[in-house]
Structure 1
Amino acid sequence: MIAIIISLAFTGIYARWKEQKQFVRLQKLYSQYNLFLSENKQLHSQYSEYTSLLKVEKIAQKKLNMIWINE
């Protein structure tokens, strides 16, 4: 009887330890995911800025070509 109680107690402790370990692992994964999202947003922002600059450059190049042709 005492062996069963001790066995149940250790089983409960082990289950709680395993649950805590999984929770810590999930927290780490969640923080990595958030870091990935912030890096992705930053890259998207840089890409948008780059494409905007390309559009402005193309427009400026066309205007310069028009001025050069008209002269």
Structure 2
Amino acid sequence: MSPDLRVIVYPPDAQGGRRVRVDGEILGRALGPNDLFEFLRQAAQDADDVCLDDGLLIEWRGGGPALGSPDAA
């Protein structure tokens, strides 16, 4: 992942979805890791290079990757 890319995952909403912002643009609402990987792919990132619990790559607000994501690993 590019060190310049800024990914922010916001706290879960009432349905467990999390808003995802990449480089200042909201890409959508992730219901789980697969959605987040898809948003990163759309932002031209290789999902194989992404570790969801790496705080240097993704800023998690309101909890880490498992919170609010029923299919999170």
Q: Which structure exhibits the higher relative contact order, with contacts defined as CA atoms closer than 8 Å and separated by 6 or more residues?
A: 2
Question: What's the TM-score, normalizing by structure 2?
Answer: 0.18
- Higher Cα radius of gyration: 1
Q: Between Structure 1 and Structure 2, which shows a larger proportion of strand residues?
A: 2
Question: What's the TM-score, normalizing by structure 1?
Answer: 0.19
